[in-house]
Amino acid sequence: MSTTAAVDWRTEPLATAVGTVRVLRAGAGRALVYLHSAGGETAAPVLDDLARSYEVIVPEFCGFGESEGIEHIDDMEDAVFHLLDVWERLGLECPAVMGLSLGGWMALELATRYPDAVSALVLVNPVGIHLDEAPVAELFGRSPSELAEMLFADQQHPIAAAMHALDAFSGDVGRSTEIPLEVVLPMWKALAATAKLGWDPYLHNPKLRRRLGRIRVPTLVVAGARDGLVPTAVAETFAAEIPGARLEVLDDAAHWLVFEKPAELAALVRGFLGTD
């Protein structure tokens, strides 16, 4: 059950085969690994909420934030082997895995190739497949304001407002703005890392869809009804083609559910995974 008590996050460097990556951990109980999106949101409020019920483990992917090794990652196959290395070095045998967008794609690639590496999947606005009738919108080359409109249903959300402010910033250092640099500026480094995994083909693996039947763990797919990046049809397809998967669509929410609807998302995860 969620409370308002502060969550104590521990940050630790982890030596891996491709370099040192940063891992954040909090909470106790069942292990829940969170795989972040192209935004690198390792401090999303939903994680605080979930850490009151689970041991939440957030490995920052290569090329994001302080994590090294992106030069050794060329595609999703490399990403999966890196995750297996992280699992082994952290002593994780079969954790539940929650992934947003790019992180959801990574979770899917892991679960289809190595089904015994996960015990449950929570996929939040996942990418990874292409639908001719509902393609994923273009992420690269967007202005901060355009990204805000894709990622948030509520343009008054503090992060969306900051992205609009960044877009409007003329370069006058004397101009008064309230831009949380620790949230917005790392996005550009993160997008460069994302491009190595999802530039061509764009944010999908043509072989993934026909492998979805290999997933044999409980799976929850969550979508924001107003997602401007990933059409709801993508989540619907995952839910229909992953055996036994369940779909939840949140109204008045877009792509970054972990920021926009943290309490609602955490409640769905608890209802799905249960609590001890």
Q: Is the pLDDT of residue 5 over 80?
A: no
Beta strands in the chain (DSSP E): 10-16, 19-26, 31-35, 55-59, 96-100, 120-124, 219-224, 246-250
Structure tokens of 148? Answer: 């805000």
Q: Is the distance from CB of 33 to CB of 84 less than 8 angstroms? A: no
Q: Is the pLDDT of residue 1 over 50?
A: no
171: CB partners within 8 A, 6+ apart: none
Better pLDDT: 6 or 106 = 106
Task: Render pLDDT for 216-275 as a digit per residue (tens, 0 to 9).
Answer: 999 999 999 999 999 999 999 999 999 999 999 999 999 999 999 999 999 999 999 998
Give the per-residue pLDDT at 38. 92
Average pLDDT over residues 129-148: 94
First to last CA, the chain: 10
Region of 125 on the Ramachandran plot (φ > 0 left; ψ -120 to 50 alpha; else beta)? left
Give the per-residue pLDDT at 106. 98
| Torsion angle of C-alpha atoms 21, 26, 30, 34, degrees rounded to 10 | -50
Fold of 10-273: Rossmann fold (3.40.50)
Task: Render pLDDT for 234-244 as a digit per residue (tens, 0 to 9).
Answer: 999 999 999 99
Q: Percentage of residues in the chain with pLDDT exceeding 70?
A: 91
Task: Render pLDDT for 29-78 as a digit per residue (tens, 0 to 9).
Answer: 999 999 999 989 998 999 999 999 999 999 999 999 899 999 999 999 99
Total Cβ atoms within 10 A of residue 223: 27
User: Among residues 88, 89, 69, which one has the least CA distance to residue 78?
Assistant: 69
The answer to whether the bond into 59 is cis (omega within 30° of 0) is no
Q: What are phi and psi of 48, to 5 degrees?
A: -60, -45
Task: Render pLDDT for 155-184 as a digit per residue (tens, 0 to 9).
Answer: 999 999 988 887 776 455 555 555 555 555
Facing residues of 221 across strands? 123, 247
